[in-house]
Amino acid sequence: MILNKLCHYINRVCSFLSIILIGVIVLLISAEVFFRYIVRNALSWPEELAGFCFVWVTMLGAAICLYKKSHIGVTILTGKFPDKLKGLFKVFIYLLIICFSYLMITKGYLLLRIVANQCSPAAQINMSWEYSAIPVVGIVFILYCTVSMLNYFFTGDDTLRGEL
């Protein structure tokens, strides 16, 4: 299914971006420590930029976890359900995630409109860059959940199979 391959491609992009952003965070914080303690002239912008990267890494990491089905879950109750009921419960959870993701997109867009003309104090970067992670990842969540539900309805397995 082409949607599975699309999800797999998006997951690879999220993983690649996360690796790059974590490297950038390490470099920025190392530079900040170097300038503060060795040069004795602290820089103000690396901490802000590292915060921007951290927000994106966190959101992309959540998308990666949703793709891999590795979010924390409490299965003490659902483990006792019959298989058919477990599947329906999964679909219910996906629908809840889609509703939450819809809120992420709509409210994230409103937030972007509010911060569109604001810049970070030290780095002078438009705050939209930081907050755009919310609606972008909301779209990814909806895609992953929709494809997972389609996979469940057509194959009985909700795994995203983009690697096939």
Number of domains in the chain: 1
- Assign 162 a pLDDT band (cuts: 50, 70, 90): low
How many Cβ atoms are within 10 Å of 138's Cβ, its own excluded? 24
Residue 21, pLDDT > 90, answer yes
| Band (164; pLDDT cuts 50, 70, 90) | very low
- Which two tokens mark 134? 């919310």
Structural domain contains residue 45: yes
> Of 36, 143, 17, 158, nearest to 88 (Cα)?
158
* Three-state secondary-structure class, residue 119: strand
In a 3-state reduction of DSSP, which class is residue 126? Answer: strand
**Mean pLDDT computed over 17-32:** 97
Report if residue 161 sits inside a domain. no
Residue 163 lies in a domain: no
How far apart, in whole angstroms, are the C-alpha atoms of residue 143 and residue 101?
10
Q: How far apart are CA 58 and CA 65, in angstroms?
A: 11
What is the domain extent for residue 69?
2-155
The pLDDT mean for the chain works out to 91
Q: Which two tokens stand for residue 19?
A: 């690796």
pLDDT in tens, 63-101: 999 999 888 876 777 778 888 888 888 899 999 999 999
- Check if the beta carbon of residue 63 is closer than 8 Å to that of residue 140: yes
Tell me the C-alpha distance between 115 and 126, whole Å: 8
Q: Which two tokens stand for residue 135?
A: 């609606």
Please check whether residue 48 lies inside any domain of the structure.
yes
163 — pLDDT class (breaks 50, 70, 90): low
The CA distances from residue 79 to 29, 30, 73, in Å, are 44, 46, 11
Over residues 37-73, the pLDDT tens digits come to 999 998 989 999 999 999 999 999 999 999 998 888 7
